Amino acid sequence: MPVTNETVVVTGLGATTPLGGDVATTWQAMLRGESGIRAVEDDWAAELPVRIAGRLRQEPAGLLDRVQARRMDRCEQIALVAAREAWADAGRPGVEPERLAVVIGTGTGGVLTLLGQDDVLEASGVRKVSPHTVPMLMANGPAAWVSMELGARGGAHTPVSACASGAEAIAMGLDLIRLGRADVVVAGGTEACVHPLPLAGFAQAKAHSTRNDDPAGASRPFDTGRDGLVIGEGAGVVVLERAGFAAARGARPHAVLAGAGVTSDAHHITAAHPEGQVRAMRLALSTAGLTPADIAHVHAHATSTQLGDLVEARSVAEAIGTHPSVTATKSMTGHLFGAAGAIGAIAAILAVRDGAVPAVRNLVDLDPQVDLDVVTGTPRHAPVPAALANAFGFGGHNASLVFTAAG
């Protein structure tokens, strides 16, 4: 089928985060300015320089069949939990299996299984290694599990683009529908890597906050006192539909996915380049048929690192301007890596739907180099006809999504 410009709508939302086990709980916690970041009290963390993380508020294993859960990595479990919520929220669309696709991104995949089974191998030998190790550690596992759950035969895809993975998955979903390859796409991101090795790695790179005595105050995007990101875990999934298909079955969309921009910097393995971010935002606007003046709100990637926050602030000002309200929910959830872009997208969708923008937590002293209208103190309630959500990742991956009001 030819490329079309048919409208793509968001009909389902699902999430499990450090703030709550579903979308509604997470969203209300964001609006209240709560924190999901806590001390890591496991024995293995005692000697680490970093002992804080955004762990899930609700454990996933209890929501799944016991045997099934034992055969899944944690990132697969939470992807399935979020996908089930999104699918139910969308009203379980009656779509032909060949017209239903899945795109679930991740940054590290089943890293907990990989590291855990390596420990088993070293300590107890090959006979103790789980026979389920490979399907548990493979990065495409979450997409595969979700596709099997829903009977999706239109493709199961896995963008692995560091912290841009979840947003790239949603952008790919838009492309699949506009290319005529699917009527419905279940898209999002998942991550579960709270483990001593990633914590130690980010600490050694001087990229992780060391506010061990103040977990709730550790992630502080755009604040002059920010000292690094905070690792978090979670999953976010949306159901995208061809507008005509959704209307025919009487679905009520949360918002319209109007455009997406995906670029790469080709610059540095960890340092972002503003030109790539600007291009991603401008491409998203172009595909949405909007101008910068149309954007009322930006959900910033804003990880709470010294350089990263400034690069993005300047990029937003150049690509969009200084007029939109800006928020950064990583101040509450921590950085969910492969899931971050999907959770950010959901927050932007809800801002459009509800006319509400959460305030950035822990923002006491706005960096004077950040020339943006950052929401502080209390949520801002005002119509949001169009919002843009950013997600940027190591390797120079940039993804921007534009959402507009439905109907």
- Is 335 part of the annotated catalytic residue set? yes
Helix, strand, coil content of the chain in percent (nearest 5): 40, 20, 40
Is residue 330 within 8 Å of 229, Cβ to Cβ?
yes
Cross-strand partners of 388: 298, 402
Q: How far apart are the first and last CA of the chain?
A: 27
- Token representation of residue 40: 């890591």
Candidates 75, 157, 163, 297; catalytic one = 163
Q: Give how far the C-alpha of residue 381 lies from the chain's centroid of Cα atoms, to the nearest Å.
A: 23
Candidates 157, 297, 335, 397; catalytic one = 335
DSSP for 337-404 reads GGGHHHHHHHHHHHHHHHTEEPPPTT-SSB-TT--SEE--SS-EES--SEEEEEEEETTTEEEEEEEE
- Token representation of residue 5: 């410009």
Torsion of CA 292, 296, 302, 306, to 10 degrees: 70
Candidates 195, 254, 297, 301; catalytic one = 301
How far, in Å, CA of 178 to CA of 57, rounded? 36
How far, in Å, CA of 258 to CA of 170, rounded? 11
- Is 163 part of the annotated catalytic residue set? yes
How far, in Å, CA of 33 to CA of 27, rounded? 10
Q: Provide the annotated active-site residues.
A: 163, 301, 335
